[in-house]
Amino acid sequence: MKPEYHFYKANPKQVIAELGRDKLIEYLTKMLLIRNFEIRGEQAYQQGKVGGFYHSYMGQEAIQAGCLAAAGSHHWFTTTYRCHALALLLGVTPNEAMAELYGRVTGNAGGRGGSMHLYAKQMLGGLAIVGGHVPIATGAAFTIKYLKEKNKASFCFMGDGAVVQGAVHESLNLAALWSLPCIYVIENNQWGMGTAVARAVAVQPIAENMAKSYGIKAYTVNGDNFFDCYAMFKEVVREVTQTSRPVLIEAMTERFRGHSISDPALYRSKEELACIMNEKDPIHILKTSLIEAGLLTEEEFKELDRAQREIVVAAMKFADESPWPDPITLEEGVFAPEDPK
């Protein structure tokens, strides 16, 4: 039986009127920065300049861009190892992000975190344990409620592969019991590593069914459409900050690469992937909408893309020329400093 999804739909004209040309171009530019960063980071990985694993966010840019456009950056944010996009959206510079990928001392975490562990002022981290970051995001929501902070929520981005982890269900249960202002976002890119979501999760839609078990509200949104994501997040943030009740979101999307760059993704045919990239590219969808609305030309788009590409190429040069961390600093930050008393 084919699952029945109830997608949240925005009125594009209303979103365009609300945000205006400058703000829309700003977020299209941010999405282009993310795309160019991932393309060049992938190249650096293949050249052996980036160690460990590299998980690309290509194809999913509209979700977190729409979220930040709607919610602002003053909330708490927690995400998975697919963390480059959120870090860039929250103010991490391409230079420090790329240097962290390269393991250099000028990196976001001093070269200690690598691709999977970027941080920002309001970002509690890109975290590598599947589902392990969800209790952290729930704790941030508890802190918001305990301190009686107004107009603030904790955002938790996770993949579809995480929803079967016990820590996720324990977190949802506590958030529902204690009425915590946490917004859980399942970025359903159809694959948990190389396993199709239908073979790993018993019931779809995921959010709409899971939310019923905990008595909380659920939303399903087309994660390829910036307008839908923006309007949905705007409504959810208003609801959560007013009621202090958690919400579960499922953003349906497709990743353009394998689980990580080392994954050849043979579970999808070349033809299938080409069709996905042609029809579901969130950047192309937003660009086309802005051109049709008379807010952008093809030439202006190409210039925006070129400018972001140059920024990322310069970041690669910066990373390449940055020094390696001094081995003598290896143990710094491992233990908390002794109590001076």
**Does residue 197 fall inside a structural domain?**
yes
pLDDT digits (tens, 9 = 90+) for 197-221: 999 999 999 999 999 999 999 999 9
Q: How many domains are contained in the chain?
A: 1
Nearest one of 181, 254, 186 to 220, comparing CA atoms: 186
Whose tokens are 């970002």? That residue is: 123
In angstroms, the CA 9 to CA 309 distance is 32
**Does residue 330 fall inside a structural domain?**
no
**Does residue 129 fall inside a structural domain?**
yes
**Does residue 338 fall inside a structural domain?**
no
Partners of 78 in beta bridges: 156
CA dihedral of residues 280, 281, 286, 290 (deg, nearest 10): -100
In angstroms, the CA 233 to CA 312 distance is 29
Cis, peptide link before residue 282, omega less than 30° from 0:
no
**Does residue 149 fall inside a structural domain?**
yes
Strand 195-196 to 191-192 pairing: antiparallel
Q: Which residues of 273-284 are buried (b: 16+ CB within 10 A; e: fewer)?
A: beebeeebbbbe
Per-residue model confidence (pLDDT) at position 249:
98
Per-residue model confidence (pLDDT) at position 174:
98
Per-residue model confidence (pLDDT) at position 337:
67
Question: What are the residue ranges in the chain where pLDDT is below 50?
Answer: none
**Does residue 65 fall inside a structural domain?**
yes
- Find the CATH number of the domain harbouring 33: 3.40.50.970
Average pLDDT across the chain, whole number: 96
Enclosing domain of residue 93:
7-211+222-315
**Does residue 143 fall inside a structural domain?**
yes
In angstroms, the CA 314 to CA 333 distance is 30
Phi, psi (5° rounding) for residue 185? -120, 115
pLDDT digits (tens, 9 = 90+) for 156-166: 999 999 999 99
Per-residue model confidence (pLDDT) at position 333:
78
Per-residue model confidence (pLDDT) at position 332:
84
Cβ distance 96 to 120 under 8 Å? no
* Coil vs helix vs strand at 156: strand
Per-residue model confidence (pLDDT) at position 206:
97
CA dihedral of residues 283, 288, 290, 291 (deg, nearest 10): 140
**Does residue 252 fall inside a structural domain?**
yes
Per-residue model confidence (pLDDT) at position 72:
97
Whose tokens are 């915590």? That residue is: 180
pLDDT digits (tens, 9 = 90+) for 251-298: 999 999 999 988 888 899 999 999 999 999 999 999 999 999 999 999
In angstroms, the CA 93 to CA 311 distance is 10
Q: Where are the beta strands (DSSP E) in the chain?
A: 7-8, 76-79, 123-126, 154-159, 182-188, 191-192, 195-196, 217-222, 247-252
